Amino acid sequence: MTTANGAPTKITQGSKSKGGIGESTLRPDGTLKVTGEFAYSSDMWHEDMLWGQILRSTVAHAEIVSIDVSEALAMAGVYAVLTYDDLPAEMKHYGLEIQDTPVLAHGKVRHHGEPVAIVAADHPETARRAAAKIKVDYKELPVITDEASATAPDAILVHENRDDHHIGHVPHPNIVHRQPIIRGNADEAAKKADFVVKGEYYFGMQDQAFLGPESGLAVPEEDGGVHLYVATQWLHSDLKQIAPVLGLPEDKVRMTLAGVGGAFGGREDLSMQIHACLLALRTGKPVKIVYNRFESFFGHVHRHPARLFYEHGATKDGKLTHLKCRIVLDGGAYASASPAVVGNASSLAVGPYVVDDVDIEAIALYSNNPPCGAMRGFGAVQACFAYEAQMDKLADEVGMDRVEFRRLNAMEQGTLMPTGQPVDSPAPVAELLRRIKAMPLPPERQWESSEGSDVRQLPGGLSNTTHGEGVVRGVGYAVGIKNVGFSEGFDDYSTAKVRMETVGGEPVATVHTAMAEVGQGGVTVHAQIARTELGVAQVTIHPADTQVGSAGSTSASRQTYVTGGAVKNACELVRERVLEIGRRKFGSYHPAWATAELLLEGGKVVTDGGEVLADLADVLEDGAVEIEAEWRHRPTEPFDLRTGQGNGHVQYSFAAHRAVVEVDTELGLVKVVELACAQDVGKALNPLSVIGQIQGGTTQGLGIAIMEEIIVDPVTAKVRNPSFTDYLLPTILDTPTIPVDVLELADDHAPYGLRGIGEAPTLSSTPAVLAAIRNATGLELPRTPVRPEHLTGKA
């Protein structure tokens, strides 16, 4: 069998862009990406390859009366048509935590767009035409779309025979998981409040909308196994779900990370992986599947929409007294990451504030809406939107400046979380707020020029809706708290294999992990760590695959922390081994080999005093040192199911935003003029990448504030806008300047003192924009995204 075209190759960096940690070295894959040579999963190609196509349900909830594939199978160019009945193994379901998702629908579909059958054909158009010829007879069932319909006495159960480990503690089988957090006595504390503010908020369904569609290539192998090239966030998690369904041992399913065009949580769950493998194994031919944008909206989970009920109290001198809150997340038809999202939403529901008496409850529903799961911010985003709106209302009630009110109640190092967990590293919440407020404001009326109004700088932009009429400026602030890494007792580890050898007289380090590079720049950081720890210039990054141990997920802001930590750890072990070799070979020549602290620098073994003891080339000669090792962050505990108490989180991450908006108050159109961010990153391993992450996360928060929302019909539970025509992402004309103030307060528990950074900026960006719009309009605006009709009273 010939090889797959576009399979990733090793990338060596060092002749031009050097630099260890703390430097803004450039991406090792940068040149490949700007020349078009970097192969993404949708670029993969194989001789004799077939194209896979998925037939998806056209209704949200129905019994499948019959499926007839005969016409499709009879078409020229069609190689296979598979349904549930063709699944080869005992295991026919998959799922991140709960295996409740059928590989292909079995007797019933539970959401619009659920996979029902799959086709392999010699051209994508043939595959599409064949899929269209499959006849599925549905008998529609009533749809469950919200908490009321899910928990009604006569509610149909979305999953009839649950046997997962949450079923014992949920109040209703249509609730995936429930997590209360109880601390102190909220009812008693409420009596001390001089002001009580209540609010009900709604957070819309957001899509990750990564640009590279779900795609991959499955190549059957001679040993009866399969090699899958795919864009994912976690190869080993995929593998654990794929192999049992194929009826293969894990070593017969080889996985290689193909180029990933963004992820943001949307690739944590499986999409086309099993389908492509099934078709490849059935036909004996390589099978490629590429979703188009329409299908992509059905092909991955979304951010949970949420209803949030909040009650806060404060004394007249501005101290928070208590919090009562209830967060209802809609998990849709399958569990995906819902349980963990519930854990985050509840444990972070209080925000970065000191509140001793809390009564918090978060639940996720099963419904017939689209399945929801991981997206950047993961439960903390929805909560932040609500508690930050509450903080503004409370500050106004108390009569304090909104930023000063937050600073007064801000948590700090040593504060106890509502879970009872102490915050044991810097928590500069008040300082971030101070910094964001101190930034100079952008000048007013920037649209005015000598040639009249520049509509590009006005609400409505190129659409020419205002030349300044009705435009009012508003300013808003918000701050948020996000956990870093996998929580609640999860064994969260990464593996790194580091090899050191001499090539052409020069020492080279090779780093091999299974980390999914999804654009975040993990590969850049791994090379930097290897240079810092091993004193080499040249570092080769090995493609990510399952030939090395798991690197965990590229999510939860964890990769630099955990896989970065694993690379650092493996480098340290390699260094020790190299020094041992050096001692053996040269120890007798210089006493410092035995007595001094030794480092690897500039391709040499040096003492901490800077004295050179040997060239690495002489130490290594023709040999190589290679070590593969796992590395873990400190363990966490599950939250108590009744009280929510427990040291559930690893680390926290904080960001604050100030939004400046201009609102056309008559038309309800918004121009975000500036969205400034201050964030503590612990230690910026690569400052350029850090700022890029903060600006990108900030912009995703802007999107859900004013334009992004998957709209699900409340009557049919069908998605109404599965396209980039009607699911709007911010363009470059919608995105403002994003000044970033980076604070570096080391967390002593983390490698290099770093703090996971990817998600925090997505939290506070949204409430800051909403606060600014409220400031401009005087409206309450309890939902996001806010649409023109909400700003004009025409909803």
Partner 1 sequence: MRVNFTVNGRPQEADDVWEGESLLYVLRERMGLPGSKNACEQGECGSCTVRLDGVPVCSCLVAAGQVQGRDVVTVEGLAEFAQQRAEGGCASGACGTAGAAGTTLDEARRWQAKGADSQTGEGVELAPIQQAFIDAGAVQCGFCTPGLLVAADEMLERNPNPSDADIREALSGNLCRCTGYEKIMDAVRLAAARQSEGV
Partner 2 sequence: MDFLRPASWEEALAAKAEHPTAVPIAGGTDVMVEINFDHRRPEYLLDLNRVGDLYEWEVGEDSVRLGASVSYTKIMENLRAELPGLALASHTVASPQIRNRGGVGGNLGTASPAGDAHPALLAAGAEVEAESVRGTRRIPIDEFYTGVKRNALAPDELIRAVHIKKADGPQQYSKVGTRNAMVIAVCAFGLALHPETRTVRTGIGSAAPTPVRAKAAEEFLAAALEEGGFWDNGKIVTPSVAKQFAELCSAACNPIDDVRGTASYRRHAVGVMARRTLTWTWESYRGARNTAKGAA
Which residues between 729 and 748 bind partner 2 (CB under 8 A)?
730-734
**Contacts with partner 2 in 366-405 (CB under 8 A)?**
none
Stretch that binds partner 2, among 179-187, 220-228, 539-547, 660-668 (CB under 8 A): 660-668
Instruction: Output the smallest distance, CB 674 to partner 1, in A.
Output: 11
454 interacts with partner 2 by CB under 8 A: no
Orientation of helix 522-534 relative to helix 559-586, angle to 10°: 30
Judged by CB, which is closer to partner 2: 643, or 721? 721
- From 313, 521, 565, 682, residue interacting with partner 1 (rule: CB under 8 A): 521
Write out the binding residues for partner 1, residues 180-239 only, by CB under 8 A.
209-213
27 binds, among partner 2, partner 1, none (CB under 5 to 8 A by kind): partner 1
Contacts 24+ apart (CB under 8 A), 775-778: 775/474, 775/475, 775/476, 776/472, 776/473, 776/474, 776/661, 776/662, 776/663, 776/665, 777/472, 777/474, 777/663, 777/665
Closest to partner 1 by CB, 9 vs 413, is: 9
Considering the rule CB under 8 A, would residue 737 count as an interface residue with partner 1? yes
Stretch that binds partner 1, among 217-225, 496-504, 630-638, 727-735 (CB under 8 A): 727-735
List the single partner that 119 binds among partner 2, partner 1, none, CB under 5 to 8 Å by kind: none
How many Cβ atoms are within 10 Å of 789's Cβ, its own excluded? Answer: 10
What is the rounded radius of gyration, in angstroms, for the C-alpha atoms of the chain? 27
Footprint of partner 2 on residues 463-482 (CB under 8 A)? 463-467, 469-470
Site string for partner 1, 250-279 (x = CB under 8 A): ---------xxxxxx---------------
Phi, psi of 425 (to 5 degrees): -145, 170
> In degrees rounded to 5, what are phi and psi of residue 535?
65, 30
CB of residue 290 vs partner 2: minimum separation in angstroms? 12
Smallest gap from Cβ 83 to partner 2, in A, equals: 21
**Both tokens assigned to 113:** 């767009």
Q: Does 33 bind partner 1 (CB under 8 A)?
A: yes
Are the C-beta atoms of 630 and 568 separated by less than 8 Å? no
Nearer to partner 2, 460 or 782 (CB): 460
Told to check if 15 binds partner 1 by CB under 8 A, we report yes
Region for 176 from its dihedrals, namely left if φ exceeds 0, alpha if ψ lies in -120 to 50, beta otherwise: alpha
Give the residue from 231, 262, 228 showing the smallest Cα distance to 242: 228
> Which position among 738, 763, 768, 769 is part of the footprint of partner 1 (CB under 8 A)?
738
Which one of partner 1, partner 2, none is in contact with 73 (Cβ closer than 5 to 8 A by kind)? none
Q: What residues from 428 to 457 belong to the interface with partner 1 (CB under 8 A)?
A: 454, 456-457
Alpha carbons 497 and 481: distance in angstroms, whole number: 33
Give the shortest CB-123-to-partner 2 separation in angstroms: 13
Q: How far is the CB of 731 from partner 1 (least distance, A)?
A: 5
The set of residues, in sequence order, having a beta carbon less than 8 Å from that of 98 and lying 6+ positions away, is 164, 166, 176, 335, 339
- Would you say 51 or 94 has its CB closer to partner 2? 51
The Cα 126–Cα 78 span in angstroms is 7
Does 787 engage in binding with partner 2 (CB under 8 A)? yes
Please classify residue 453 by burial: count the beta carbons closer than 10 Å to its beta carbon, then call 0-12 exposed, 13-18 middle and 19+ buried.
middle
Q: Which is nearer to partner 1, 426 or 564 (CB)?
A: 564
Which helix (H) or strand (E) segment holds residue 130: the answer is helix 124-132
Among 92, 293, 577, 787, interactor with partner 1 by CB under 8 A:
293
Q: Is 725 within 8 Å of 662 (Cβ atoms)?
A: no
Distance of alpha carbon 172 from alpha carbon 180, whole angstroms = 15
User: Could you tell which of partner 1, partner 2, none binds residue 352, using a CB distance below 5 to 8 A set by kind?
Assistant: none
Per-residue binding letters, 665-684, with partner 2 (x by CB under 8 A): -xxxx-x-------------
Place of tokens 């570092």: 539
Q: Which two tokens stand for residue 623?
A: 């040999």
Q: Which does 466 bind (CB under 5 to 8 A by kind): partner 2, partner 1, none?
A: partner 2
Cβ of residue 769: shortest distance to partner 2, in angstroms? Answer: 14
**Which of 483, 489, 405 is CA-nearest to residue 653?**
483
CA geometry: angle 412, 417, 420, nearest 5 deg: 130
Residue whose token pair is 């004009």:
792
Binding residue (CB under 8 A) for partner 1 from 91, 155, 156, 688: 688
**Options 42, 174, 321, 338; binder of partner 1; rule CB under 8 A:** 42
Which of partner 2, partner 1, none interacts with 738 (beta carbon under 5 to 8 A by kind)?
A: partner 1
Query: Nearest to residue 693, comparing CAs of 488, 544, 441, 484?
Result: 484
Interactions with partner 1, residue window 95-134 (CB under 8 A): 123, 125
533: CB partners within 8 A, 6+ apart: 568, 571, 572, 575, 600
DSSP string, 568-593: HHHHHHHHHHHHHHHHHHHGGG-THH
Identify whether the C-beta of residue 501 lies closer than 8 Å to the C-beta of residue 603. no
The SS3 assignment for 43 reads helix
Q: How far is the CB of 644 from partner 1 (least distance, A)?
A: 34
Q: Tell me which residues touch partner 2 (CB under 8 A).
A: 128, 132, 292, 294, 456, 459-467, 469-470, 666-669, 671, 706-707, 711, 720-721, 723, 725-726, 728, 730-734, 787-789, 792, 794-795
